[in-house]
Chain A
Amino acid sequence: MFGPLVVKPIKSKGDKTGAWRIKLRPKYLQKDCIACKMCVLICPEACVRGKEKNTYNCDYNYCKGCGLCAAVCPKKDILMFEEEFAGDKK
């Protein structure tokens, strides 16, 4: 009981923190993206992925809806929408 507690790495993927979003969720419009990777760099959750222009998107299983990617995007290509309407608005 008092020995070291050893845990296999990368186990946190089991925690779906996306359930924490209460107000807003980001929408990656994928129109004017210039692949500057600022959203990848700033995401505290490390859940934004993409390789080329207009392919960046976040993993809604983990996104907590903090809105930093929308704040940092120089092209305003990421917008925050109300959680329930995220699918309807274009």
Chain B
Amino acid sequence: METDTLFKPGHTACAGCGQAIGAKLVIESAGPNTIVVNNTGCLEVFSAKYPESAWNVPWIHSLFENAAAVASGVEAALIYLGKKANTNVIAQGGDGSTADIGLQALSGMLERGHDILYVCYDNEAYMNTGVQRSGLTPFSSATTTSPVGAKSFGNIRPKKPMPEIALAHGIPYMATCSSAFMQDIQRKIKKALSIKGPKYIQMHVPCPLGWRHESELTLQVAKLAVETGLYPIVEYENGVLISKGEITPKPVEEYLKVQGRFKHLLTNPEAIKQIQDIADYNIQKYGLKKEG
């Protein structure tokens, strides 16, 4: 990493923000010849509160949902000007703007085959506006719109299979990664940018505020999500699984007990069993269990 960084300190992310780790690694791996298009979300707000900006590359924000559409236009303009060959275009957004509000713009971008890398920072709720439930919020997680009470145990719906939805468009590259594995993010971003066509990367980024854990636990929480099988790390090239994060599965309680948003489940073995089933399903589906 050069001393002249592309993502500058002085932004207003919370202490221990996983999204800031991810955003920094993405832009540092992509290099200075990059144009970034941002959806509305925490990342847009903390890195570019007017009149300041943490970005040392061309950066644009338009509306909540249309980073993918704006990036498509940026890419088309670069091709017209003959400058596409050495310029990367990255569209990025949070989980709400990717899986809920911006899904049609993203789907259009993937379908039209633009040469763009889309990065989704998955912090599993609308953190910017105060922890509302999104399509990527996991099962049983407590948010302000799926609160815990006498008759409620949090979010009643499972997490939307966004990586598979992206993959179903027949794109050349799709990967998931986690902010706990920094070198893995760097490798995947570099690899994605070397491939022509639409690419989708989904990154698991802990949010100390919304997930209600201490700021220094960001690394541990992100690691546990992968090690329990709740967040499978996979990499697909042309629809074929080329690498996966193999694990020695840990019980899901270890992941749940470090976060305030799952605190209500610890006295409820049945609910833990349901979450363990989700983890077991992921492990079996992608063959994540380490051999031997």
Contact = CB atoms under 8 A, between A and B. Distances in A.
Nearest to A12: B10
Contact of A20 (B15, B25, B216, B217): B15
Contacts, number: 112
Contacts of B218: 44, 66, 68
Size class of the A contact interface (CB-based, 8 Å):
35 or more
Interface in A62-84: 62, 64-68, 70-72, 80
Interface string B206-221: 0010000011111110
Given A17-B9, A46-B24, A68-B216, A11 B15 contact: no
Interface string A8-44: 1111111111001100000000000000011011111
B21 to A, nearest CB: 5
B21 A7 contact: no
Nearest to B62: A4
A5 interface: yes
B51 interface: yes
Given A11-B53, A13-B9, A44-B21, A38 B15 contact: no
Interface residues of B, number: 40
Contacts of A38: 182
B67 interface: no
Given A40-B1, A45-B9, A66-B218, 8 more contacts: A9-B55, A10-B8, A11-B53, A15-B52, A21-B15, A66-B216, A68-B215, A71-B219
Interface of A: 5, 7-17, 20-21, 37-38, 40-47, 49, 59, 61-62, 64-68, 70-72, 80
